Amino acid sequence: MHISISGFPADVEAHDIQEALENYGAAVNSVTLEPNSGGHTMAVVDVDTDETGARALAEKINGRIWQGKRLRAQAFLFMK
């Protein structure tokens, strides 16, 4: 399952996100960063959990403040 998290500052690093999510108990497979307009960065995080676990993790993250920025998170199934 994947979680998209938007609102990170432009200078965020993938390992910082991975470490923070692992503190929530998430098993993180990978973090992909995608800069977007307005000086923010979005992260797509591949977590080793089922849909219920991914949704619960996204709910914990959604609305949290990271370095002064409010995060928005959503779980989704990534289709290849």
Domain range summary for the chain, segments of one domain joined by +: 2-76
pLDDT, tens digit only, all 80 positions of the chain = 999 999 999 899 999 999 999 988 889 999 999 988 778 899 999 999 999 999 999 999 999 999 888 999 999 876 54
Phi, psi of 63 (to 5 degrees): 90, -10
Q: Coil, helix or strand for 48?
A: coil
Report in angstroms the alpha-carbon separations of 30 from 14, 17, 19, 27, 37: 8, 10, 11, 9, 23
| Predicted local confidence at residue 78, as pLDDT | 62
> Could you tell me if 79 and 7 are in contact, meaning their C-beta atoms sit under 8 angstroms apart?
no
What's this model's pTM, rounded to 2 decimal places?
0.88
| Predicted local confidence at residue 29, as pLDDT | 95
| Predicted local confidence at residue 54, as pLDDT | 92
Phi, psi of 26 (to 5 degrees): -85, 140
2-76 carries CATH number 3.40.50.720: no
| Predicted local confidence at residue 46, as pLDDT | 95
